[in-house]
Amino acid sequence: MNNKLKKLDELKKKRNAIILAHNYQIPEVQDAADFMGDSFALAIRAQKTEADVIVFCGVNFMAESAKILNPGKIVLHPDADARCPMAAMVSSEELLSLKKEEGMDVVSYVNTTAEVKAVSDVCCTSANAVKVVKSMDDGVIFVPDSNLGKYVKRYTGDREVILWPGFCPTHKNIEMKDIMAIKKEHPDAEIIVHPECNPEVIDVADKVASTGGMINYAMKSRATEFIVATEKEMCYRLKKEMPGKEFYPIESAICPDMKKITLDKVISSLEKMEPEITIDRDTLERARKPLKRMMEIGR
């Protein structure tokens, strides 16, 4: 164990802390995490932990969700500037205005702020978005990712789904030519695509899945090579899980905000017990309801 990991282990024991990390985190943070996962798996894990302190390695909305589900625990976010640009594309005021105008329930992707969740009826992740929308009685307003919303509409029949014009810059910038260039070099590789990608990219996929779903699919597939159309660090996680298979990243698919968290910042956050996630009680209570409803619906 190197000195940094030794120091981190000592701090975790001292603080009774657990480190949760998203699959897009840099390798050194992935290696230090107690639990890795996609947004849904991390939400479940955050709620089940007996630790007093949760160190959340991801972007802001993920750490906020952990706090919403664990109001009595301390939730640390090692870099407060690690923020999701898509979550910033919708405000609670704008959403309330549209909700009043349309008279429809809101399905809010977890990639939203606590304030937006607080005015939503149910949340979803990329893993269960189709299931959540199908569970609704009538049409819905889907915020903020229009690409995920378009993917959902493929499977929800005639149900009206009003899409918010938001997007993930990292996934939106993945282009067909990026995938086809790798496919030319590795013709037997299966293509796995995240549903935040553009529709034409989804159209060429062998499998469309959340990051957790990508792991499950690759494990079960007979294929030994995969082109992975999502944030490139996902391939590090996949390779760790399946060293006998090959995973080809889209090298340009980088989320700058996910890269802001480092092992040094994780250690510093536990030393100083900051930055800490704080959410006012009213917002927290209202935001918990759509998250809990999402978890009851399941993956």
Same domain, 131 and 263: no
Pair 291, 162 in one domain: yes
Domain count, the chain: 3
Q: What is the DSSP letter of 277?
A: P
DSSP secondary structure string for all residues of 136-188: SSS-EEEESBHHHHHHHHTTSTT--EEEPSB--HHHHT--HHHHHHHHHH-TT
- Note down the domain range covering 27: 3-84+258-278
The predicted-structure confidence for 233-263, as pLDDT tens digits, reads as follows 999 999 999 999 999 999 999 999 999 999 9
List Cβ neighbours of 279 (8 Å cut-off, separation of 6 or more). Answer: 64, 67, 68, 114, 287
115, pLDDT greater than 70: yes
Q: Can you give the CATH number for the domain in which 185 is found? A: 3.40.50.10800
Identity of the residue numbered 195: P
Nearest alpha carbon to residue 33 among 67, 78, 72: 78
What are the beta bridge partners of residue 259? none
Same domain for 94 and 157?
A: yes
Please give the pLDDT value at position 39: 79
Task: Express each pLDDT in 54-81 by its tens digit.
Answer: 999 999 999 999 999 999 999 999 999 9
Does 99 share its domain with 157?
A: yes
pLDDT digits (tens, 9 = 90+) for 127-176: 899 999 999 999 999 999 999 999 999 999 889 999 999 999 999 999 99
Q: Do residue 80 and residue 91 come from a single domain?
A: no
Task: Judge if 127 and 109 occupy the same domain.
Answer: yes
How many whole angstroms separate alpha carbon 84 and alpha carbon 60? 7
pLDDT given for residue 58 in this prediction: 96
| 245 shares a domain with 200 | yes
Both tokens of residue 237? 């996680």
Q: Residue type at 87?
A: A
Res 163: pLDDT: 98
Please indicate, yes or no, whether residues 155 and 180 belong to a single structural domain of this protein: no
DSSP string, 37-66: E-HHHHHHHHHH---SEEEEES-HHHHHHH
Residues 208 and 69 in one domain: no
Q: Are residues 129 and 187 in the same domain?
A: no
Radius of gyration of the chain from its Cα atoms, rounded to whole angstroms: 19
Residues 146 and 108 in one domain: yes
Question: Do both 92 and 159 map to the same domain?
Answer: yes
